[in-house]
Chain A
Amino acid sequence: MHRENSRPAARYGLIAVAVLFLALFLVLPLAAVFGEALSKGATAFGSAVTEPDALAAIRLTLLVAGISVPLNIVFGIAAAWAIAKFDFPGKSLLISFIDLPFSVSPVVAGLIYVLLFGAQGWLGPWLRAHDIEIIFAVPGILLATIFVTFPFVARELIPLMSEQGRDDEEASLSLGASGFQTFWRVTLPNIRWGLLYGVLLCNARAMGEFGAVSVVSGHLRGITNTMPLHVEILYNEYNFVAAFAVASLLALLALVTLVLKSIVEWRFDYHRGGAGH
């Protein structure tokens, strides 16, 4: 307390720097996005986000997020459970693998799939023989998105579940609960806020991913374009209003995520603090 009050100049100076930085690099661009999107009026905005290609991009983005997020919830919980509650050989290796998508450039992630499933890739001939399309099609986009978003849920849950230990689960089992009852009634409630937090981050990334998806998508308008890819195409065509209109939807998603994230963080802290010793 004493130290905080003794140097008001330093304190206000730091706050000013932080606010200025945020305004310059975050608020201003965000305002520009919405400003540009609405520069030709609400009608132009409306038609830009409702034209068939834009709608197709929105639909694809929702589809990809709708599949990859639930899958990563399952993977994430399974991986975090295994790592946090059991000891097994290769555990640290598994942790490193989970972190891999964070350390690898998304473009490389996309290229991995091209290398595997592309026409010239290892499995390309076989796939073509069986008439299965992965690269330049929805499955490829899905795979790339799952790869990039994999760590979010697991990373959020591992420290939380490690900290909680096995006592609660063992107590539940000793009282006669089955494994499923234990998971549903004890484990899941214990991790729900951390899980929700991870899901939000995972979802935001799934909808906003550009690099990995760009490599595997093929940019077929109305077919394999997600929202971020659609924005780029419109922008390259000097269709600024439409580009910024679709971009503003993504920005809106970011803002909603941010608000939800704050609420979850608040609840999360409350529960952790309230449940402590």
Chain B
Amino acid sequence: MIGIDNISKRFGSYAALNDISLDVRSGEFLALLGPSGSGKTTLLRIIAGLEFPDEGQVSFNGEDVTGLKVADRKVGFVFQHYALFKHMTVAQNVAFGLSVRSRRQRPPKAQIRARAEELLQLVQLGGLGGRYPAQLSGGQRQRVALARALAVEPQLLLLDEPFGALDAKVRKDLRRWLRHLHGQMGLTTIFVTHDQEEALELADRVVVMDHGVIEQVGTPEEIYMKPSSGFVSDFVGETNSLPVSVVAGRPQFFDRAIDVEVAPAGDGPARLDFRPHDVSVCGEGAGCLPVLVTGVYRRGGDWRIEGEVAGVDKPLEIDMSAASSPPQIGQRLGLRINRGMLFAEGVQQ
């Protein structure tokens, strides 16, 4: 288990991490999710020992490793741009971690070679050991970097934006494969991403970060369904926002009570967030939200409706089943919000 206790890190006057605490369970697949500048990569590099915190402690299995250098932490680190050694062949790259060991700990040459080939088989690049990194595609390079990191048999695998530099199709394939590999090897894996879809699809738990602090830690389900702040709701998944005021625990939009299932909140100004698919059409009745349809297009199996609500700047986005016929542009609809989330206005970013 990895413990991160009250870590702070500044770069000059810029606070990259502000009193971060987090426990990572053994065997877990954990995503650090956040926009650029949120501190997620700094946190990953501190766990690796490539960066050192100004304050706080990092421990592996209860043992304090805060002062240990990266070489002594037994971690595998995969860089965003792979950082393959371009003057070495793929096999030499993979074997690097074994070949730099001191003579007493170093396996014999033939064994190193066999191990490199074995790892290349594992990442489905068997037989390509003689090539140079420049002769490989982006996805292949990524897998070489992974094999190289796995060669030193790390307890912990750290990946910095592992799919950032790849095109969409390769990214999707590699994601599944990595998830599979994680399960197969029984590693603890932490990866950094700014792509919420990637985090939700891959991770056992997601850590959402912003401005050097952790906004929320939870399973993808919890993060998506029960975001703890306006920022998380906005950053993870698609969200519509209505400015409301809470009166007696119920949201009101310009004096109109909104009939919505929400966890009750304290009275005062607030933000009502809801997902595009959490709405249904209702009549003109009380509790329905009047919307002017300004755009309709197909999005997979749904109609995506764009609509304007008086008093809200950003158009709403609503999904409706494509089984029904779509509304027309210019039509007025009454919307019922089936499920929403209330955030007191002070929390909003």
A181 at the interface (CB under 8 A from B): yes
Contact between B152 and A170, CB atoms less than 8 A apart:
no
A173 to B83: give the CA distance in the assembly, Å.
12
A170 to B133: give the CA distance in the assembly, Å.
18
Q: Map CB proximity to B onto A234-277 as digits: 1 under 8 Å, 0 otherwise.
A: 00000000000000000000000000000000000001001111
Known: A176-B71, A176-B152, A181-B100. A171 touches B133 (CB 8 A): no
Interface size on A, residues (CB 8 A): 21
Contact between A171 and B134, CB atoms less than 8 A apart:
no
By secondary structure, the A interface counts as helix
A167 to B77: give the CA distance in the assembly, Å.
11
B298 at the interface (CB under 8 A from A): no
A181 to B106: give the CA distance in the assembly, Å.
14
B202 at the interface (CB under 8 A from A): no
- List B144-159 residues whose CB lies under 8 Å from chain A: 148-149, 151-152
For B75, give the chain A residue with the smallest CB separation: A174
Which residues of chain B have C-beta atoms less than 8 A from A170's C-beta?
Answer: 50, 70, 77, 79, 83
Contact between A176 and B50, CB atoms less than 8 A apart:
no
- List B57-81 residues whose CB lies under 8 Å from chain A: 69-71, 75-77, 79, 81
Contact of A171 among B77, B87, B132 (CB under 8 A): B77
Interface size on B, residues (CB 8 A): 28
A71 to B85: give the CA distance in the assembly, Å.
28
User: Which one of A54-62, A94-102, A185-193 is at the interface?
Assistant: A185-193
Contact of B85 among A168, A178, A271, A276 (CB under 8 A): A168
**Shortest distance between the CB of A137 and any CB in chain B (Å):** 43
**Shortest distance between the CB of A57 and any CB in chain B (Å):** 40
- List B105-146 residues whose CB lies under 8 Å from chain A: 132-134, 138
For A182, give the chain B residue with the smallest CB separation: B100
Contact of A177 among B75, B81, B100 (CB under 8 A): B100
Which residues of chain B have C-beta atoms less than 8 A from A274's C-beta?
Answer: 132, 134
Known: A167-B81, A275-B134. A174 touches B70 (CB 8 A): yes
Contact between A168 and B83, CB atoms less than 8 A apart:
yes
Contact between B96 and A175, CB atoms less than 8 A apart:
yes
A114 to B75: give the CA distance in the assembly, Å.
56
Contact between B86 and A275, CB atoms less than 8 A apart:
yes
Q: Map CB proximity to A onto B15-33 as digits: 1 under 8 Å, 0 otherwise.
A: 0000000000000000000
A172 at the interface (CB under 8 A from B): yes
Which residues of chain B have C-beta atoms less than 8 A from A277's C-beta?
Answer: 138
Which residues of chain A have C-beta atoms less than 8 A from B97's C-beta?
Answer: 175-177
**Interface hub of B75, B76, B97, B132 (most chain A Cβ within 10 A):** B97
**Shortest distance between the CB of A138 and any CB in chain B (Å):** 39
Which residues of chain A have C-beta atoms less than 8 A from B152's C-beta?
Answer: 175-176
Known: A170-B50, A190-B87, A274-B134. A175 touches B148 (CB 8 A): yes
A-B contact pairs, 21 of them (CB 8 A): A168-B83, A170-B77, A171-B83, A172-B85, A173-B69, A173-B71, A174-B48, A174-B77, A174-B149, A175-B100, A175-B152, A176-B101, A177-B71, A178-B100, A181-B100, A189-B87, A274-B132, A275-B86, A275-B133, A275-B134, A277-B138
Measuring CB to CB, which residues of chain B are less than 8 angstroms from any residue of chain A? 48-50, 69-71, 75-77, 79, 81, 83-87, 96-97, 100-101, 132-134, 138, 148-149, 151-152
Measuring CB to CB, which residues of chain A are less than 8 angstroms from any residue of chain B? 167-168, 170-178, 181, 185-186, 189-190, 271, 274-277
